[in-house]
Amino acid sequence: MSYEEVPIQTGAWGLDGICVVNVKAYADRRAHIQKELQRFGLVGEFVWEHDADEITSELDDQYYLKNLPLTNGHKSCGLKHIAIMQRVVARRWQYCLVLEDDAILHRDFRHGVENALRELKRDYANVPYVAFIGSGGNWYTPRSQRKKGRYLYPAPKGRFTDSYIIGAGAARMRLEWITQHKMRSAIDNAFDIMDAELGIRLLWLEPTVVEQGTKRGMFKSTLEGRWPAPVQAALHAWEKFRRKYVYQLWR
């Protein structure tokens, strides 16, 4: 499939484009993220290919090692992120914002994106990078390492794949790695493995400007489903409080 043609113009604020991971049947999530983007005058290009029930054995063999303990839901999520990277490479985009469809955009979302873009263009113009702008996993740069006026910080690993900015350089390197090695785990873990081997620069935005609606109990998780939504929301809130505020007292 060729992705060179751009079906709709989604670039804004210095971004080349915005891609949104979504399953065709998830109309509620689609409506949610459309509303979130519209609050800021934005539109996104939905990535609908590779739904779980569309994964053929040939597609599975092309991208994943055999006999993995992964559901087709996990594989579908990974394949959708691959389809986004294929778009980024084909279109030579240097700054693509990727969002998953349960993303909650904070009121200072534009400010955070523009801060990230300014530092990416100034400090990482010729460096393969992925800049995570959300609070995936409730991971935060220790306060002792933060500096006034700086927003992006080198990180030891990626945050989750709910919200990040990526350019063609890192996308191409990841795609080539996948072609050579194939994936053996869920997409966020797979990215951590290949990024470490490839030397892709991982960056965390501080403060974060995106949160996962699923973690907040807004949607039932289609991949984990370990806790009812209210329990998931309470656990997430407690973890956020510990890691964002309590841990920072001595870090």
Q: pLDDT digit string (tens) for 5-27?
A: 999 999 999 999 999 999 999 99
Helix (H, G, I), strand (E, B) or coil at 182: coil
- Per-residue pLDDT at 223 exceeds 90: no
Helix (H, G, I), strand (E, B) or coil at 152: strand
Could you say which DSSP state residue 200 is in? P
Interatomic CA distance for residues 83 and 18, integer angstroms: 13
Interatomic CA distance for residues 251 and 52, integer angstroms: 41
Q: What does the pLDDT look like over 172-184, one tens digit per residue?
A: 999 999 999 999 9
What pLDDT is recorded for position 217?
A: 72
- Per-residue pLDDT at 246 exceeds 80: no
Q: Are β-strands 96-100 and 163-166 bridged in parallel, bridged antiparallel, or unpaired?
A: antiparallel
What kind and span of H or E run contains 166? strand 163-166
Could you say which DSSP state residue 39 is in? T
pTM of this structure:
0.88
Q: Give the chain's domains with CATH numbers.
A: 17-212 (3.90.550.10)
What pLDDT is recorded for position 137?
A: 81
φ/ψ of 140, rounded to 5, equals -135, 145
Q: What is the rounded average pLDDT for all residues in the chain? A: 90
Q: What is the CA radius of gyration of the chain?
A: 17
Amino acid at 79: L
Q: Could you tell me if 165 and 98 are in contact, meaning their C-beta atoms sit under 8 angstroms apart?
A: yes
Map tokens 């914002």 to a residue.
97
Interatomic CA distance for residues 99 and 240, integer angstroms: 20
| 187-198 and 168-181 helices, crossing angle to 10° | 100
Averaged pLDDT, 195-207: 97
- Per-residue pLDDT at 233 exceeds 80: no
SS3 sequence, 99-147?
EECCEEECCCHHHHHHHHHHHHHHHCCCCCEEEECECHHHCCCCHHHCC
Tell me what percent of the residues of the chain surpass a pLDDT of 70: 86
